[in-house]
């Protein structure tokens, strides 16, 4: 059952129940893009810029939680011509993304489960506006790194209030210490939804960019 609360209030609550998330985004799919335009959504453009600047030679990008395809369209607008794959839990949103033409393939997936890709499958991965619904941050970020080829980039967002509540910095540091990834930039709190969720206060986020694998050796090593 879709919760009987305004979409802005529901987004702020940040449900982590996959069925509830799927139902709500299925219901919202046809109006989602228009709403996000009116809310001055910043993240797709910021993340697309990060991917094309950090990995200009990327031949493939996986968009985890692609929704209706805002990030994919932003990547194409910035000149990305490689293979673009999308995963999302909402089939209605995937239908919109497919119609938009930016993606080579889209597939329904519960993002709290292992991703349906082999190890080292893509050159880059993006996850925008989705980590709110994925409470097991460390498991999710390890899974993201698993499917990206060594040397590839990973760019994700996390709402600023959840960055601390879920101890995200400690996860970043732990994965770096293990050589899972090398953090390139952590920006935040940064603009995300300056106008809030359609009437709520401003929402900020952290943008995390990491290169998969440990740091490259220097001449002194």
pLDDT at 201: 83
CA angle 33, 130, 140 (to 5 degrees): 155
Confidence bin at 15 (pLDDT 50/70/90): confident
Q: Which residue has the higher pLDDT, 17 or 118?
A: 118
CA dist 132 and 12 (Å) reads 9
Helix or strand (DSSP H, E) at 105: strand 105-108
CA dist 217 and 221 (Å) reads 6
Q: In the beta sheet, which residues pair with residue 156? A: 127, 208
Over residues 32-69, the pLDDT tens digits come to 999 898 888 989 999 999 999 999 999 999 999 999 99
Q: Could you tell me the CA-to-CA distances from 22 to 39, 75, 154, 173 in Å, in that order?
A: 21, 25, 24, 32
Residue 174 corresponds to which tokens in the numbers above? 């732990």
Asked if residue 199 has pLDDT above 60, the reply is yes
- Statement: 7-212 belongs to CATH 3.50.30.20: no
CA dist 157 and 209 (Å) reads 9
Residue 34 neighbours by CB distance under 10 Å: 9
Over residues 139-176, the pLDDT tens digits come to 999 999 999 999 999 999 999 999 999 999 999 999 99
What are 102-107's contacts with CB under 8 Å, separation 24+?
102/69, 102/72, 102/73, 102/75, 102/76, 103/63, 103/66, 103/69, 103/72, 106/66
pLDDT at 202: 87
Mean pLDDT for all residues in the chain = 91
pLDDT at 18: 92
Nearest to 51 by CA among 189, 182, 211, 217: 211
Pairing of strands 148-159, 60-64: unpaired
pLDDT at 127: 98
Residue 4 corresponds to which tokens in the numbers above? 């009987």
Mean pLDDT of 70-79: 97
Helix or strand (DSSP H, E) at 162: helix 160-165
Residue 103 neighbours by CB distance under 10 Å: 22
Domain boundaries, the chain: 7-212
């Amino acid at each position: 059952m879709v919760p009987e609360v305004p979409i802005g209030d529901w987004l702020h609550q940040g449900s982590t129940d996959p069925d509830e998330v799927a139902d709500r985004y299925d219901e919202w799919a046809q109006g989602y893009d228009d709403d996000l335009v009116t809310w001055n959504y910043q993240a797709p453009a910021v993340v697309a810029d990060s991917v094309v600047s950090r990995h200009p030679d990327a031949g493939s990008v996986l968009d985890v939680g692609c929704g209706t395809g805002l990030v994919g369209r932003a990547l194409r607008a910035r000149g990305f011509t490689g293979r673009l794959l999308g995963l999302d839990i909402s089939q209605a949103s995937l239908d919109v993304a497919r119609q938009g033409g930016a993606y080579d393939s889209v597939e329904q997936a519960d993002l709290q489960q292992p991703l349906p890709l082999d190890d080292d499958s893509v050159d880059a991965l993006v996850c925008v506006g989705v980590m709110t619904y994925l409470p097991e941050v460390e498991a999710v970020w390890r899974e993201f790194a698993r499917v990206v080829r060594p040397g590839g980039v990973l760019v994700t967002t996390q709402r600023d209030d959840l960055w601390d509540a879920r101890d995200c910095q400690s996860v970043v540091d732990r994965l770096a210490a293990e050589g899972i990834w090398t953090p390139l930039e952590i920006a935040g709190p940064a603009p995300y939804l300056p106008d809030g969720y359609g009437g709520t206060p401003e929402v900020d986020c952290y943008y995390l960019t990491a290169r998969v694998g440990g740091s490259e050796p220097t001449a002194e090593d």
